[in-house]
Amino acid sequence: MNERLLLGRSIDTGSWVHKLDPRSKITGMLLYVAIILLSTSWMAMGLLAVFSLLVMATTRIPLKYFIKAAKPLRYLMLFIFIVQALSVKSGDVLWSLGSFSLYEGGLRLGAFSVIRMLFLLTFTALLTFTTTPGKLNQGLEGVLAPFKKLGLSPDRITLMISIALRFIPTILDEAQIILKAQASRGADLKELPLKEKARMLVSLLVPVIASAFRRAQDLVYSMEARGFRMDAPRSRYHRLRWGAADTLFVAMFIALGIAVALL
C-alpha cells in the first residue's frame, strides 16, 4: 500500500460529482483544459480558481488530497517558471545585472504557466478521485465512440488503458514486497549511501520486471482461454446514464468558458 501515490485511486465520498456519468466528467475536463489554455489574464485566473475550489469543495474530498496530487511535479513547475521568467523578454525591466535583465512579462508568463499546471493537475485529479477506473474507462469508450467511423478502435485504446491502470497498484504492491524482501537480505534502500542505492536498484528492478512479464503472459492466456475477441459486441453490467445533473455539469464548464472569453 503506497500512501504517496494518489494517481488513479478513487476516494469515495458519495458526493454529486461521484454520481455523475463519467462521460460528462471527461467532457467537462476537456473543456476545462481548453479554458485553462485560453485564459491569459489575472482576472481569468482568479475566476478559474474560484470555480475550481467550489467544484472541489462539493466533492467533499479534503483539499489536501488535491494538493498532494500536484506535489510530485513541483520541481517541474519550478523549472518551467524559471525558464519562462528568463527567456521571455517583454514588458518593463524589473531588475538587471550586467547584460542580464528580468522582465515583468517573463515573470507574469512564468506565473501563469505554473498556475495553469497547478489547475490542470489538481482539477484532473478530481476526475480520478471521483471515478473508479472501470467507470472512467467506460466513459472514455463512450467519448471515443464517434471516432469508430474514422477507423479508430476505441475498444483497443480503452483496453490498453484499463489494463495499464489495473496493474499499476498490483505492480506497486509487488515492488513493495520485493523491496521489503531485499531489505530483509540487508539491502535497505533507506539506510544506504547513494552509490550503493543505484546498485541495489537492480535487485529491485529485475524481479519486478520479471513478474510484470509473467503477469502479462498469464493475462493473455486467461483472456484467450475465455475467448476474448477485440471489438466483439459486449453488454455492460453497469450502463451509463446521462441525467440532468450531467447536462448541468457540462453547462457549468461552457458558462465558465464564455465568462473567461469575455473577460
Partner 1 sequence: MAIQLQQVSYTYADRSMWRQTALHGINLNIAKGSLTGIAGATGSGKSTLLQLFNGILKPTEGTVQVLDVTITAGEKSPKLLPLRRRVGLVFQFPEQQMFEDTVEKDICFGPLNFGFTLEEAKERARKAMTDMGLDLALLERNPFRLSGGQMRKAAIASVLAMDPDIVVLDEPTATLDPVSRAELIALLERLCREQGRTIIIVTHRMDELLPYADSWALLKGGELAFQGSGQELAADPAILERCGLTIPQSLRYWQAVSTRFGLGTEKPLLTAEALAERIAAVLEERKNAAGTEEMGSGHE
Cα 252 to Cα 18: distance, rounded to the nearest angstrom:
16
Is 211 among the residues that bind partner 1 (CB under 8 A)? Answer: yes
Instruction: Encode 54-72 in three state secondary structure.
Output: HHHHHCCCCHHHHHHHHHH
Is 210 a binding residue for partner 1 by CB under 8 A? The answer is yes
Toward partner 1, which CB reaches closer, 67 or 177? 177
Nearer Cβ to partner 1 (117/187) = 187
182 binds partner 1 (CB under 8 A): yes
Q: Please, which residue, 160 or 206, has the CB nearer to partner 1?
A: 206
Is residue 162 part of the contact set for partner 1 (CB under 8 A)? no
Neighbours of 136 (CB within 10 A): 22
Asked if 191 is part of the footprint of partner 1 (rule: CB under 8 A), the reply reads: yes
Query: How many residues belong to the site for partner 1 (CB under 8 A)?
Result: 24
For 2, left (φ over 0), alpha (ψ -120 to 50), or beta?
beta
Q: Contact between 184 and partner 1 (CB under 8 A)?
A: yes
**242: nearest Cα among 26, 4, 9:** 26
Position 69 contacts partner 1 (CB under 8 A): no
Sign of CA dihedral 60, 61, 66, 67: positive
**Does the protein bind partner 1 through residue 181 (CB under 8 A)?**
yes
| Nine cell digits for residue 176 | 513493495
Applying CB under 8 A, the residues found at the interface with partner 1 are: 1, 3, 11, 62, 65, 174, 177-178, 180-188, 191, 202-203, 206-207, 210-211
